Amino acid sequence: MSGLRVVPAYRHGRERLYVCREDGSNVAWYDRETGRVNLLALGEDDGNDVLNALKPFLTGQVTVGPPPVPTPAELARLTLHPDDDLAPNRPGEALLVALERDPGPARRLRPDPRRRALAAEQTVGQELDRLEGAGWHTLHSVPLPGGDRIHHLVIGPGGLFAVHALQARKARVLVADPMVTLGRREAEPLLRRLRAAADRASYALTAEVRPLLALVDPAEVTVTAQPRGVRILRDTELAGLARLGGVLKPADVEALHGMARDRDTWGGL
């Protein structure tokens, strides 16, 4: 093989280096934590080409061979073109890209609201990523047609959640379905938008996706009546999702995660 390139991916404290052909398809990946090069192309010459491509990145001794007991979901993920794989998205990916392209004026009277929103998504994203050890997966900044997006899509034993992060730093929050009032700001029909995003995700994945509003550092939260179908949590309460179960089996979690991370899944909405 010729023209191989190495594409790094770093999530949840674990780094993988994918070896790709010119068309973007993966032929191998190197897991630095285990020191293993996993080959999809099993020929001896192919293995040599992969090792040559990885040579600048290899540390210490490595083992080389086929992936250990690959599942259908893992093989499906490996066939994704890197541009179509949403798994490497960082919390607030869309906002990070927007700020890189247009950082705004150096001096302004008020802080850029995009940075407040970004801080909220990063805080919530970090909490959700910690659920990985409990059998959950989180995809960040999932794009929807029309310019909308789901801040975080969480998939695990307790089901699927479309999570919206809201910066509420030291402010009082009033929830009167579908309106959400933050401090002295004007009320917004935020819960209606959350339900709509969750419904679109349910349609794309052919599985129930429930909306969840994550409030970051609120001073006080008042809910006039339990919102229909919407879970409301503080960012410090998100770890409690790990205790939920009985909805999806591990194989279903992996299959839905493999489907959700493919950008094409969301293109037909």
- Write the pLDDT tens digit of every residue in 67-92: 665 556 666 666 677 889 999 999 99
Which residue, 157, 153, 253, is CA-closest to 212?
153
Q: Is the peptide bond before 72 cis (omega within 30 degrees of 0)?
A: no
Q: What is the pLDDT, as a whole number, of residue 116?
A: 93
The lowest-confidence range among 99-108, 116-125, 219-228, 247-256 is 99-108
Using the predicted structure, report yes or no on whether residue 38 has a pLDDT greater than 90: no
Q: What's the pTM value of the predicted model, to 2 decimals?
A: 0.72
Residue type (1 letter), 157:
P
pLDDT, average across residues 179-204 = 94
Using the predicted structure, report yes or no on whether residue 52 has a pLDDT greater than 80: yes
Q: Which residue has the higher pLDDT, 127 or 25?
A: 127
Report the b/e string of 27-51 with b at 16+ CB within 10 A: bbbbebeeebbbbbbeeeebbebbb
Q: What is the pLDDT, as a whole number, of residue 196?
A: 94
Average pLDDT, the chain: 87
Q: Return the bridge partners of 50, or none.
A: none
Q: What percent of the chain lies above the pLDDT cut of 70?
A: 87
Give the integer Cα–Cα distance in Å for 74 and 137.
14
Measured at the alpha carbon of residue 267, what is the angle toward residues 265 and 268, in degrees to the nearest 5?
Answer: 95
- Residues with Cβ < 8 Å from 138, sequence gap 6 or more? 125, 128, 129, 131, 132, 152, 153, 154, 155
Give the integer Cα–Cα distance in Å for 249 and 245.
9
Instruction: Classify residue 184 as exposed, middle or buried by CB count within 10 Å of its CB (0-12, 13-18, 19+).
Output: exposed
Give the integer Cα–Cα distance in Å for 249 and 258.
14
Q: What percent of the chain lies above the pLDDT cut of 90?
A: 56
Q: What is the pLDDT, as a whole number, of residue 82?
A: 81
Which of 65-79, 91-105, 172-186 is most confident? 172-186
